[in-house]
Chain A
Amino acid sequence: DAGVIQSPRHEVTEMGQEVTLRCKPISGHDYLFWYRQTMMRGLELLIYFNNNVPIDDSGMPEDRFSAKMPNASFSTLKIQPSEPRDSAVYFCASSFVLAGGLAYNEQFFGPGTRLTVL
């Protein structure tokens, strides 16, 4: 398997523009996570999905952020409108459930998307 795939790897945009980040999880994984990493705030869990259903979006910073998972092999994180403080590296990770239903198993991270909002 190619691992978790994210696109684009780098995105530079201007304030007010819409940004869409894409993620393809590892085939067969039940869980998909979106994280944001900055120097100031570290690694933050934004939202996660189980079997394409959003389970916890309490980490989404505000209404400008939205995430979807229309099928098991694709997810998007959208920021509209974008602001300079959204500049960060956004990671997507996927995972599977062990017997016993452990909620969080080993997470496989994608390479990340470095977003710069000018």
Chain B
Amino acid sequence: QQPVQSPQAVILREGEDAVINCSSSKALYSVHWYRQKHGEAPVFLMILLKGGEQKGHDKISASFNEKKQQSSLYLTASQLSYSGTYFCGTELNTGNQFYFGTGTSLTVIP
């Protein structure tokens, strides 16, 4: 039930782009994205509902393909502050079930 994220870890230089993928084996109603910095709580980034919408704020955006049960998070022109572990969270179509993904560790270096 837990969605699988890829890659598990990525190291970027400032200004580079990254894509983090989230894949579920179950039909999804929504996908959430959170970022967690070391020693802190997860912080919400965005929610995507089924319908193939793409959302974004600043240089972080995401897409959701409900037919493929996949979502991707796009980070462009990465900044040092983007470092952390990114989690997708998936709500199933069957309702009342929510699972966080396996996590992707992202490190941005100068």
Contact = CB atoms under 8 A, between A and B. Distances in A.
Interface of A: 35, 42-45, 48, 55-56, 58, 91, 102-112
A106 B91 CA distance: 12
Contacts of A45: 98-100
A109 B37 CA distance: 13
B2 A42 contact: yes
Contacts, number: 52
Nearest to A98: B47
Instruction: Report, as a range, how many residues of chain B touch the other chain.
Output: 20 to 34
Lowest 8 A-B CB distances belong to which pairs?
Answer: A109-B41, A43-B100, A106-B44, A104-B91, A56-B96, A104-B98, A109-B42, A45-B98
Contacts of A43: 42, 87, 100, 103
B1 to A, nearest CB: 10
B71 interface: no
Given A42-B2, A42-B100, A45-B100, A104 B41 contact: no
Contacts of A111: 40-41
A70 to B, nearest CB: 22
Contacts of A55: 96
A4 to B, nearest CB: 8
A112 B40 CA distance: 8
Contacts of B2: 42
B41 A112 contact: yes
Given A43-B100, A45-B100, A56-B97, A102 B41 contact: no
B87 A108 contact: no
Nearest to B2: A42
B96 A107 contact: no
A58 B95 CA distance: 13
Given A48-B98, A103-B29, A106-B32, 14 more contacts: A42-B87, A42-B101, A43-B87, A45-B98, A55-B96, A56-B96, A56-B97, A58-B97, A91-B41, A102-B30, A103-B98, A104-B47, A104-B98, A111-B40
